Amino acid sequence: MAKNLILWVVIAVVLMSVFSNFQDQGTTAQEIPYSQFLGEVDTGRVDSVTISGPVIRGTRSDGSNFSTYSPETDNNALIGQLMNGGVAIRGEEPEGRSMLLQILISWFPFLLLIGVWIYFMRQMQGGGGGRGAMSFGKSRAKMMSEEQIKVTFKDVAGVEEAKQDVVELVEFLRDPSKFQRLGGTIPRGVLMVGPPGTGKTLLAKAIAGEARVPFFSISGSDFVEMFVGVGASRVRDMFAQAKKQAPCIIFIDELDAVGRQRGAGLGGGHDEREQTLNQMLVEMDGFEGSEGVIVIAATNRPDVLDPALLRPGRFDRQVVVPLPDVRGREQILRVHMNKTPLSDDVDARTIARGTPGFSGADLANLVNEAALFAARRNKRVVDQQDFEDAKDKIMMGAERKSMVMSEAEKRLTAYHEAGHAIVGLKVPEHDPVHKVTIIPRGRALGVTMFLPEEDRYSYTKRRLNSSICGLFGGRIAEEMIFGPESVTTGAQSDIQRVTEIARNMVTKWGLSDRMGPLAYGEDEGEVFLGHQVTQHKTISDETAHAIDEEVRRIVEENYAEAKAVLEENVDILHAMADALMKYETIDRDQIDDVMNGQPPRPPKEPPAAPTADTGAGGAGDTAKAEDGKDGDVGGRPASEH
């Protein structure tokens, strides 16, 4: 924006200078006929004149200016007349313009148009920043010098194993001879693999910051253009620049954008992308010396990469950057909390235990949301309640307090969420209930949030069956209290997740006694031009029928078990629904009171009302039974109820 503004200011100044310098100087004076000029000389009205060749400019006795053009080739007679009239005479050399200046004046508009056209072409083709039509094939990698990189390993938390894997890269960049004396070579390429937001880019910058070497950063999509060969040219230019700055690091983000497996898919090959990939393979090949240049790439889809990228001599080392565990989350929270004024009651360890499955980016967002809550409440520091509210907003969605629900709708929602909570508390190996609310959040009319007490990396058959029971708790409660005809569409997401879990138990996880410990592939296909195209069928019709029957059996058995749990605890169901109608949101302590047959204790004092509405966002309805991040089970989507 600033560069464009400066450009137009320069153009305006040039135009003003040209027109001011080359405009007719006589336009400021009255232009009169030569005969009138002679008459005024005779009558004594002319005070002084300046003669410049045939051009005569003068001043009258009353101070007014005039100009005229003399048709005479010899001004001797005129000068005598002026002398007799007492007119002051001054002579000037006639103005003359060189041929070069005349050409410049006549061609200036065309030159200006050509300059503007070149500027816009550079903006469209080169993406700005001084990369235009003449540098179309140049690398777009942004280079950061060692002085510009302030990130070190101290700023990267929660990925200790990944940091240990890349420590020797730092040692190699600092002292390459240490490895070369023994005939060893450091891996040319390091592929960082992990879910989004886990800090792959940050870790790559930290390597450069620790080694104090230049850092080239580029995205995989920056190589691909509509013209074939441009991406390959940019790869060559990027490696050529890197070799001049060696030792250095090249970081390619989202490598899968250019490194997809060649020849895969139904749409045929992409010539530009494949040529770019081929050039990258050649540049990274062991026969092409790139001493001192280490290529680090990041992706969250390593399964789609071309095998040639992963062979020795290229990206032959993979560093997994996983989601942080509870200790890692605590360390990440402390890094982000250092920039925020905190109250004494804030406990990073407690917050870390309550955020399983959160990535580093999620935790940064959590700290930011907590700071926003504190600012809305006009606080000077961020306290624990702000973090709890921020966590609820991220996990369950923002409260939609402006949404008006009828009393009957609220009661039906209360029984639905109470059914989820009671079944989840009564079945074995289920995550404990953290909070139940009938306040609309995100797309859900109500939310029951289960929060695991510790990180889980595998799930037993008993736990999966309990998850199915808990998901059915809401629908069964509606049917028990209001009758089969009053069952709503609020359990749509619950049914989808139940079906997914049961089918995975049969076809992927080998948890069906009838089908055995085998993996069954069903209709497989790819999305081509927006349509699912079936390629082949890997199981017979009889096996598919048996799988459907086994999935139905698992679902029906767990449905019956969940129904039996609610029938045995119908009094608790009524009590919890009444508590939800009274308080709208109940926490773990109040839920324990209801489960023990006691009246729920009053809720804690609510925080001060924010000065601005928190808005509506998030999807509290989309919890995942296979991971531990979104504990929401039983959200009822408002769009479907």
Q: What are the CA-CA distances from residue 86 to residues 33, 146, 382 (Å)?
A: 21, 80, 91
Dist. CA 37–CA 48, nearest whole Å: 12
Side chain identity at 142, as an amino acid letter? K
| Nearest residue to 614 via CA among 404, 420, 373, 375 | 373
Angle at 489 between CA 487 and CA 490, to 5 degrees: 95
Instruction: Write the Ramachandran bin of 624: left for phi over 0, alpha for psi from -120 to 50, otherwise beta.
Output: beta
Name the β-bridge partners of 286: none
Annotation says 417 is catalytic: yes
Q: Is 336 annotated as a binding residue?
A: no
Q: Is 276 annotated as a binding residue?
A: no
Contacts of 11 (CB under 8 A, 6+ apart): 112, 116
Say which of 210, 283, 388, 417 is annotated catalytic.
417
Q: Is 194 annotated as a binding residue?
A: yes
Token pair of 217 as six digits = 């950063």
Judge if the upstream peptide bond of residue 247 is cis by omega within 30 degrees of 0.
yes
Other Cβ atoms within 10 Å of 499 Cβ, number:
16
618 and 396 in contact (C-beta within 8 Å)? yes
Side chain identity at 478, as an amino acid letter? E
Q: Is 545 annotated as a binding residue?
A: no
Dist. CA 110–CA 119, nearest whole Å: 14
Q: What is the DSSP string of 294-346?
A: EEEEEES-GGGB-GGGGSTTSS-EEEE-----HHHHHHHHHHHHTTS-B-TT-
Dist. CA 465–CA 472, nearest whole Å: 11
Q: What are phi and psi of 218, to 5 degrees?
A: -155, 155
Q: Is 198 annotated as a binding residue?
A: yes
450 and 470 in contact (C-beta within 8 Å)? yes
Q: Is 521 annotated as a binding residue?
A: no
The rounded radius of gyration (Å) of the Cα atoms in the chain is 39
Q: Is 602 annotated as a binding residue?
A: no
| Nearest residue to 431 via CA among 439, 420, 447 | 420
Q: Is 494 annotated as a binding residue?
A: yes
Q: What is the DSSP string of 384-395?
A: HHHHHHHHHHHH
| Nearest residue to 634 via CA among 479, 483, 459, 496 | 496
Dist. CA 166–CA 207, nearest whole Å: 7
414 and 374 in contact (C-beta within 8 Å)? no
Q: What is the DSSP string of 519-568?
A: -----EEEEETTEEEEEE--S-HHHHHHHHHHHHHHHHHHHHHHHHHHHH
Q: Is 435 annotated as a binding residue?
A: no
Token pair of 420 as six digits = 């989820």
Dist. CA 382–CA 465, nearest whole Å: 40
Contacts of 111 (CB under 8 A, 6+ apart): none
Please list the active-site residues: 417
Binding residues for ATP: 194-201
Binding residues for Zn(2+): 416, 420, 494
Binding residues: 194-201, 416, 420, 494
